[in-house]
Chains A and B, each alone.
Chain A
C-alpha cells in the first residue's frame, strides 16, 4: 500500500464525513427557514397591518376584502380554527378504537392473517393519494349524506368520515409497533395467573402500551389537522362556525387552499392567510413536542 493511496483515502474519509454532516445539517436549515419565512409573512398581519391577535384568534367575521369605507377587512378566523379542531377530533374519535382493535388483532390474535392481509391493506390505505380520498368523498359520501340526511351533502360529516379513513393506517401502524415492542413475558405472566387472552389484552397489554398508543393518536391528529385537499373537496367551504354536522364549513387548510390564488401579495387578505399558515405550522410543531413528551414516559424502552 503506497503512502499516496493512504493519503488519498484519508482525504476521502474527511470529504465523506463532511458531506454527510452537510446533508444532515441541511435538515435543520430547511426547518429553520420554513419557520422564519412563514413567521415573517404570518406576523405581518399583526405588525404591518396592525390587526389584533385577539380579533384573528377569537373573531368570527371573515371579510378580508371588505373596503375601508365599510369598516375595512375583517380577519376573524375562529370558525376555521374550530373547524379544523372539530373535523380532526371527531375523525380521531371514530378512528382510534378501530385502529387499536386492528393493531391488537395483528399482534395478539392472528399474526398470520394480520401480516398477510391486514398489514398490506394498511400500507395500501396509506398509499392512496389524498385527492383520491377527496374524490371518493365527493362522488360517494356527499351524495349519500345529501340523500339520507338532507342538505347539500357538503358537510362536516363528510369531512370527518374522509379523515377517519385517512388516519386509520397512521394510528394502526404506530399502535402496532407500540404493542409489538412490549416484552412478551408480561403476557406470559398474565396467562400464568390464569387470565384469558381478553383479560390480558385489557388489563396488561393496553395499559403497558398506553404511551405508544397515545403517540399514535397524536400523530393521527396531526395528520388529520394538516390534511388539506381531501377535506377541502367535501366540506363545502363556507366560512361559518362548525356547529352542525350537516352544514358546509371551512378549516384552516381549506381556506388557505381556496383563497391563496385569489389574493395579491402584501394585501391584508393575503397576510391573514399566511397567519393561518403560521398557526398551522405552530400547531403541528406542538404535536411533535407532545409526542416527544409522551415518548419519554414510556415504560419499556
Chain B
C-alpha cells in the first residue's frame, strides 16, 4: 500500500528532524562549554579585566549584569503585575483596552536595538544621565514590561473562577480578592515567568550598548552608599554587562588573550542563563505541587 509506505516515511522524517534539532543543541552547548573550559575558574570570575594585557577576568561585568537585573526587576515587576492585573481583572472590551493590547504587542516585538536607541535619546541625552546603571535599567524595563504584563495576565487568568467567586461570596472587595486570593494562587506562574525573563534580561546586549555603556569605572566595595559617586551602587555610573563585554571583546578586543576571554565569557553567560532556565522549571513545578497539594 503506497499511502502506508508514505506514512512510514513521513514518521521517519519527523523523528529525524526532532533528533537532529536536539543533537544540534547538545553540540552547541558542548562546544561553548568546551571552548570556555580553560577559563571556567574562580580567578576568571573574580578578577577585573586587564587592558592590553593577558590574564584579565570578568568580575565587574558579572556584577553589573546582576545589579542591572535586580534594578530592572524592582522597577518592572510591580508595574508589569499591575498591568497584567488590569488586563485580566478590570479591562472591559473597548478602545482603551484594545490600545493597551496593541501597545503590549508592539512593545514586545520591538527590536531591542530600537529600545536601546530610545534609551539613548531619553535617559542618556535628554535627562543627562549619561551611560549609566539607571539608563540601562530603564531601557531593560521597557523591554521587560510587555513580557511581564503578558506573563502576569496569563497566570492571573489561569486561577480558577470558583476560587474568586468563593472570595466574593465571603464579602471581600475586588482588591482583597486580588491580593489575598488571585496573586497567591498565580504565584507559581508569576515566579516562573519572572525567572525566565530574568534569563533574557541577563543576556541582553543590544539595548545596553548605548544606555548602560561599554565601560566600567573601578568598583570600590568599601563605599556602599549609592549617593556617593565612588560607590558601585551609584546609579549614574557606566556599567558594562557580561553580554556587552562579549560583543566588545569580539569586535574590538585589545587584550592579547581576547579570544580566550570571549570563549570564557560566553561559557559563563551560557551557564548563568541555563541556571535561570533550570531554576524556573524546578521552582515552577515545586510551587505548583505545593499550592495544589497534588503529586
Contacts and interface: CB of A to CB of B under 8 A. Distances in A.
Interface of A: 9-10, 12-13, 15-17, 19-28, 30-34, 37-38, 41, 98, 101-102, 104-106, 109-110, 113-114, 117-118, 120-121, 123-125, 127-132, 134-136, 138-140, 168, 196-199, 201, 219, 222-223, 225-229, 233, 253, 256-257, 260-261, 265, 274, 277, 280-281, 284-285, 287-288, 291-292
A196 B106 CA distance: 41
Contacts of B263: 139
Interface in B87-129: 87, 89-91, 96, 99-100, 102-107, 109-115, 117-118, 120-122, 125
A98 B15 contact: no
Given A25-B100, A117-B22, A135-B246, A34 B203 contact: no
B52 interface: no
Contacts of B79: 23, 26
Given A23-B80, A23-B82, A131-B243, 10 more contacts: A9-B176, A23-B79, A24-B149, A104-B14, A118-B21, A134-B247, A139-B262, A228-B112, A228-B113, A281-B111
B174 interface: yes
A24 B22 contact: no
Contacts of A25: 96, 100
A13 B21 contact: no
Interface of B: 3-4, 6-7, 9-11, 13-15, 17-18, 21-22, 25, 28-29, 31-32, 35, 78-83, 85-87, 89-91, 96, 99-100, 102-107, 109-115, 117-118, 120-122, 125, 142, 145-146, 149, 173-176, 178-179, 196, 199-200, 202-206, 209-210, 243-244, 246-247, 250-251, 259, 262-263, 266, 269-270, 273-274, 276-277, 281
A170 B209 CA distance: 24
A20 B32 contact: no
B118 A37 contact: yes
A130 B114 contact: no
A137 to B, nearest CB: 10
Given A129-B243, A136-B31, A284-B109, A196 B22 contact: no
Nearest to A113: B18
Contacts of B206: 130, 228-229, 253, 257
B86 A21 contact: yes
B86 A28 contact: no
Contacts of B22: 117-118, 121
B109 A222 contact: yes
A257 B145 contact: no
B13 A101 contact: yes
A25 B202 CA distance: 27
A291 B83 CA distance: 22
A16 B102 CA distance: 23
A281 to B, nearest CB: 5
Contacts of A280: 111, 113-114
Most buried by A among B78, B200, B251, B262: B251
A233 B209 CA distance: 14
A27 B273 contact: no
B31 to A, nearest CB: 7
Chain B facing A: main interface SS: helix
A229 B4 CA distance: 47
A138 to B, nearest CB: 6
Contacts of B111: 225-228, 253, 280-281, 284
B83 A20 contact: yes
A131 B121 CA distance: 23
B113 A256 contact: yes
Nearest to A106: B18
B109 A288 contact: yes
A280 B178 CA distance: 39
B223 to A, nearest CB: 30
A278 B274 CA distance: 34
14 contacts: A17-B175, A20-B86, A105-B15, A118-B18, A118-B21, A118-B22, A124-B25, A124-B277, A127-B273, A134-B250, A168-B21, A197-B11, A277-B117, A287-B109
A116 to B, nearest CB: 10
Contacts of A285: 106
Contacts of B86: 20-21, 23-24
B286 to A, nearest CB: 17
Most buried by A among B112, B175, B274: B175
Contacts of A117: 18, 22
A222 B175 CA distance: 38
B246 A132 contact: yes
Nearest to A219: B109
B13 A26 contact: no
Contacts of B35: 139
A10 B150 CA distance: 28
A210 B221 CA distance: 57
Given A12-B173, A229-B247, A288 B106 contact: yes
Nearest to B176: A9
A260 to B, nearest CB: 6
A105 B251 CA distance: 39
A124 B14 CA distance: 21
A16 B25 contact: no
Given A98-B21, A199-B7, A233-B247, A9 B173 contact: yes
